[in-house]
Amino acid sequence: MKRLLSLAAFLVIIPHFQAVAGSSLPVTRSIGAPVGFAGACAKYKWLCGRVAVQQLDEQAAIALLQKVNHAVNGRIVSAEDRSSSGNGDVWSLPVAGRGDCEDYALQKMKDLIEAGYPSNRLALSVVIGPHDQNHVVLVARTDRGDYVLDNLTGGVKPWRMTGYTFLATQDFQSRTGWRVTLAGPRAGEFS
């Protein structure tokens, strides 16, 4: 009987986790890109262009996401743009090993593309982060769903398990465009 209950619990939990892990961020209409994105697009051709690569199997993709997230988080020191670049909100790769959230996300995207991850399966996303401030993360699309690489956590998580409210996301296919996302715990406040 105990074995049967354990099996029943397993069968209930696993499909629920797969449903959470196996979902893509919902997107709707087009929206203007965040301030600073156009400048970064012009500066970094890999950000808004398409890079043709060989498709990774799912296990290799997840391992690569975890490796890059951990490596970038470990080598960059968190700093606001004013202290690292001398300017306001600048979307750039980290300067002198320092950067803010979008700088981390850009570095992760660059490193993943250089490692062979398909560029059309990577997108930046603006979310409501801790303490109700805007925050930028990198979203990686896999066959299992969309995963988030974040400078505030070492783990790569399915988007639904981050606790973030997603506001807008770079278009996976039309890389210069952005789409309204409105998904997560506070999405109803914005619709």
* pLDDT over 90 (residue 110): yes
**Sequence-ordered list of residues with C-beta below 8 angstroms from that of 182, at least 6 positions apart, any chain:** 26, 28, 165, 166, 167, 190, 191
Give the model's pLDDT for residue 10: 36
Instruction: Report the C-alpha gap between 91 and 104 in whole angstroms.
Output: 10
Helix (H) or strand (E) holding 8: helix 2-21
* pLDDT over 70 (residue 75): yes
* pLDDT over 90 (residue 68): yes
Nearest 5°: CA angle at 74, between 73 and 77? Answer: 75
CA dist list (Å): 158 to 16, 38, 40, 117, 138: 13, 27, 26, 17, 12
How sure is the predictor about 130, in pLDDT bands with cuts at 50, 70 and 90?
Answer: confident
Give the model's pLDDT for residue 64: 96
The predicted model gives 111-138 an average pLDDT of 94
Strand runs (DSSP E) across 27-110, as ranges?
30-31, 77-78, 98-99
Least confident of 47-56, 132-141, 172-181: 47-56
* pLDDT over 80 (residue 71): yes
Give the model's pLDDT for residue 36: 93
The predicted model gives 115-125 an average pLDDT of 94
The predicted model gives 102-107 an average pLDDT of 97
pTM confidence score: 0.85
Instruction: Report the C-alpha gap between 103 and 151 in whole angstroms.
Output: 10
Give the model's pLDDT for residue 129: 87
